[in-house]
C-alpha cells in the first residue's frame, strides 16, 4: 500500500462518509499518522441522491473528493481500496491493494441495501445507496421514456412509464415526490407525444402509514402532500417478488412496471473478521460502548450507521441518519486527542436535532422536539439544513444555483442519459471491481 513508516501512532479510518470525514478533519491536529481508506475517492452526500436519480442535480455536486481532506502539513494519507477483512489478533487489515497495520482502527463503513434475503428482488430491482446507483435510476427512467415514444403498444407504453417504489421511509417519499414533479413539470414539455396520465408513480409500504419513524402528524401531512402531487400510495402492501416486470405483494396486488426501486431498508456493512458476539442480531451493526469502542477490543472503534450503541433512550442504537455519525465522529476525535494527552475519554451523548423529509416544491415535514412543521416553512428549513451540511463550498454554490433555477423554471435540468443502464452488462461501481 506504500504507506511510509512514521514515528507517530497510526490511526486507520475505513469509510469516508459522514462519520469518517468528520473524524479525518478533526484528527489532523494530533501527532498521529492518519490513513483514510474508502472504496470510492469521494464522499457521497446520500440525502441528495434522490435528486440525482430524478434529474434534479448532477452527481458531481453531491460528491466531494476525499483527497481534498488530505492535509499536506500533516502525517495524513488517503488510499482508495476495498477493505476485505479485519485481522483483530494481528492489528492489521486486508484490502484489495494490500495489508496494513494499525495502532487504532475506526470503522465508519455505514450500511448497504437490505433485500431481506429475497434474491429475485436483489437481482431485478434498483437500489439507491450510491452515486452510480442513482445514475442507473436516472438513465433507466429516461431510457424507458424514450422507448415509450417509439412503440404503439399502449400496454407496453404504460409499463415503460409506470414507476414503482417499495419503502415509504424518507427515501421513498422523497423519490416519489420528485418523480411526480418530473411528471407534472417536464413530461409534457419534453415528450409531447406521450400521454402524461400513463406516467404513474406508485409508492408501496408494508406498514399502515408512510414515514413510520416520524410522528403521526408528520406522516399524515406527507401523505396529503404526496396525494396532491398525484402519487398513488399503497399501505399494508409487503412486496414479495419482482420478476418479468411485475411487482407482486404478499396480499396479491400486482403492478406491471419496467422501473422498480427498492428503498425498503438497510443493513450494517462491515468487513469480515468480527466474532458473532460483536455483531448485533438486528441490523448487522457492530456493538460499541459509550466511547464507540467495539465490544471485546482495546483499539477498534465504530461510528455512525455501522455502530450500535445501546442507551436508555435508544435501546436498539441510534437512528441510522447523518447526525449520529457526525456527532460520534466528532466525539471520538476529541476522545483520541484526550487519550493522547493522558486525559480520560468522555462518553457519547446524542443531541437529537430532529427529522426532516421533503416531498416537493414548498412541501416538507419536520419533527423538531415536540413540534411538527409542514409546508413552506419545513421546506425552507430542509433546503437550509441540507445546504449547510453538504460537504464542499463549490457543491453548496452549484446546488443552490440549480435549486433556484429549477424552482423558477419548474425544470429538472439534468435529464441526460450519459451512461446508459443495462441489466445484463453490470457497470462496475469501483475501480477494483473494474479490474476484476
Ligand atoms: C438515499 C438516502 C437518503 C438519505 N437521506 C438522509 C437524510 O435526509 N437525512 C439524514 O440525516 N440521513 C439520511 N440518510 C442516511 C445517512 O446518509 C446515513 O445515516 C449516513 O450517511 C451515515 O454515515 P456513515 O459515516 O455512518 O456512513 P456512510 O455515509 O454510508 O459512509 C460509509 C463509507 O464507507 C465506505 N465503505 C463501506 N464499506 C467499505 C469497505 N469495505 N471498504 C472501503 N470503503 C468502504 C463507503 O464507500 C462510504 O463512503 C440517507 C441515506 C440514503 C441511502
Taking only the tens place, the pLDDT of each residue in 77-121 is 999 999 999 999 999 999 999 999 999 999 999 999 999 999 999
Please tell me the predicted confidence (pLDDT) of residue 318: 97
| Ligand 1 centroid from CA 161, angstroms | 30
pLDDT of residue 73: 67
The confidence score (pLDDT) of residue 287 equals 98
Which tops the pLDDT comparison, 436 or 78?
A: 78
- Cβ(270) to ligand 1 under 6 A? no
For 22, the grid coordinates are 468528520
Confidence class of residue 407 from pLDDT cuts 50, 70 and 90?
confident
Told to judge if 429 belongs to the known catalytic residues of this protein, a careful annotator would answer no
Which residues, 6 or more positions from 227, have their beta carbon under 8 angstroms from its beta carbon?
Answer: 233
Q: Out of 285-294, 339-348, 357-366, which region has the weakest mean confidence (pLDDT)?
A: 339-348
Q: Whose CA is nearest to atom 30 of ligand 1?
A: 110
Q: Is there an atom of ligand 1 within 6 Å of 109 CB? A: yes
Is 261 a residue whose pLDDT tops 90? yes
Res 435: pLDDT: 62
**% of the chain residues with pLDDT over 70:** 96
Give the pairing of strands 33-38 and 76-80.
parallel
Cβ of residue 108 lying under 6 Å from some atom of ligand 1: yes
The atom of ligand 1 lying closest to the CA of 47 is 5
Ligand 1 neighbour 329 (Cβ under 6 A): no
Going 267 to 65 to 335 to 298, the CA torsion angle's sign is positive
State the distance between the two ends of the chain, measured CA to CA, in whole angstroms: 18
Confidence of residue 413 (pLDDT cuts 50, 70, 90): confident
CA of 305 to the centre of ligand 1 (A): 7
Out of 37, 53, 109, give the residue to mutate to test ligand 1, the one with the largest number of ligand atoms within 8 Å of its CB: 109
* Burial of residue 155 (number of CB atoms within 10 Å: 0-12, 13-18, 19+): exposed
The band of 32, judged by pLDDT with boundaries at 50, 70 and 90, is confident
Cα separation of 305 and 303, whole Å? Answer: 7
CA geometry: angle at 76 spanning 74 and 80, to 5°?
160
- For ligand 1, atom 39, the nearest C-alpha belongs to 109
163 lines ligand 1 (CB under 6 A): no
**Chain segment 141-191, per-residue pLDDT in tens:** 999 999 999 999 999 999 999 999 999 999 999 999 999 999 999 999 999
37 lines ligand 1 (CB under 6 A): yes
Per-residue model confidence as pLDDT tens digits over 215-235:
999 999 999 999 999 999 999
Q: What is the pLDDT of residue 341?
A: 85
Q: Give bridge partners of residue 255 from the DSSP assignment.
A: 247
Distance CA 224, CA 245 (A): 29
User: 301 falls in which pLDDT band (50, 70, 90)?
Assistant: very high
- Is the Cβ atom of 304 under 6 angstroms away from ligand 1? yes
Confidence of residue 249 (pLDDT cuts 50, 70, 90): very high
Q: Does residue 94's CB lie within 6 angstroms of at least one atom of ligand 1?
A: no
Question: pTM to 2 decimals?
Answer: 0.95
pLDDT at 75: 85
Exactly one of 58, 174, 181, 200 is catalytic; name it: 174
Distance 418 CA to ligand 1 centre (A): 25
User: Can you give the pLDDT at residue 28?
Assistant: 73
At residue 425, the pLDDT reads 52
Name the more confident of 413 and 331: 331
In this prediction, residue 408 carries a pLDDT of: 85
> What's the CA-to-centroid distance between 296 and ligand 1, angstroms?
25
Amino acid at each position: 500500500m506504500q504507506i511510509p513508516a512514521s514515528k507517530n501512532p497510526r490511526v486507520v479510518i475505513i469509510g469516508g462518509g459522514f462519520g469518517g470525514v468528520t473524524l479525518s478533519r478533526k484528527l489532523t491536529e494530533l501527532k498521529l499518522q492518519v490513513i483514510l481508506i474508502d472504496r470510492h475517492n469521494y464522499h457521497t452526500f446520500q440525502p441528495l441522491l434522490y435528486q440525482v436519480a430524478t434529474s434534479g442535480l448532477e452527481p458531481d455536486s453531491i460528491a466531494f473528493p476525499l483527497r481534498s481532506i488530505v492535509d499536506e502539513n500533516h502525517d495524513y494519507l488517503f488510499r482508495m481500496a476495498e477493505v476485505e477483512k479485519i485481522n483483530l489478533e494481528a492489528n492489521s487489515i486486508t484490502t484489495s491493494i494490500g495489508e496494513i497495520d494499525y495502532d487504532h482502527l475506526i470503522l465508519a463503513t455505514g450500511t448497504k441495501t437490505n433485500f431481506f434475503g429475497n434474491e429475485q428482488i436483489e437481482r431485478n430491482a434498483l437500489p439507491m445507496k450510491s452515486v452510480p446507483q442513482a445514475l442507473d435510476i436516472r438513465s433507466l427512467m429516461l431510457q424507458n421514456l424514450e422507448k415509450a415514444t417509439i412503440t404503439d403498444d399502449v400496454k407496453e407504453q404504460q409499463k415503460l412509464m409506470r414507476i414503482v417504489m417499495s419503502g415509504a421511509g424518507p427515501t421513498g417519499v422523497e423519490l416519489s415526490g420528485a418523480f411526480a414533479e418530473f411528471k407534472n413539470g417536464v413530461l409534457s414539455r419534453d415528450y409531447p407525444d406521450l400521454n402524461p396520465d400513463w406516467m404513474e408513480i406508485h409508492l408501496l409500504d408494508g406498514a399502515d402509514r408512510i414515514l413510520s419513524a416520524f410522528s403521526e402528524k408528520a406522516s399524515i401531512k406527507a401523505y396529503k402532500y404526496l396525494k396532491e402531487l398525484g402519487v398513488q400510495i399503497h399501505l399494508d402492501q409487503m412486496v414479495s417478488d419482482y420478476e418479468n416486470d411485475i411487482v407482486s405483494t404478499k396480499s396479491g396486488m400486482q403492478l406491471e412496471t419496467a422501473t422498480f426501486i427498492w428503498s425498503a431498508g438497510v443493513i450494517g456493512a462491515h468487513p469480515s473478521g468480527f466474532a458473532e458476539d460483536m455483531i448485533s442480531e438486528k441490523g448487522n451493526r457492530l456493538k460499541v460502548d459509550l466511547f464507540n469502542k467495539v465490544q471485546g477490543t482495546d483499539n477498534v472503534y465504530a461510528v455512525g450507521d455501522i455502530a450500535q450503541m445501546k442507551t436508555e433512550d435508544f435501546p436498539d442504537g441510534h437512528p441510522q441518519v447523518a447526525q449520529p455519525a457526525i456527532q460520534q465522529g466528532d466525539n471520538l476525535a476529541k476522545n483520541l486527542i484526550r487519550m493522547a494527552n493522558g486525559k480520560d475519554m468522555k462518553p457519547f451523548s446524542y443531541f437529537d436535532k430532529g427529522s426532516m423529509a421533503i416531498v416537493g416544491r414548498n412541501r416538507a415535514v419536520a419533527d423538531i422536539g415536540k413540534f411538527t412543521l409542514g409546508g413552506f416553512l419545513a421546506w425552507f428549513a430542509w433546503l437550509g439544513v441540507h445546504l449547510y451540511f453538504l460537504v464542499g463550498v463549490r457543491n453548496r454554490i452549484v446546488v443552490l444555483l440549480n435549486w433556484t433555477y429549477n424552482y423558477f423554471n419548474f425544470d429538472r435540468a439534468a435529464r441526460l442519459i450519459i451512461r446508459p443502464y443495462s441489466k445484463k452488462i453490470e457497470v462496475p461501481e469501483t475501480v477494483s471491481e473494474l479490474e476484476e
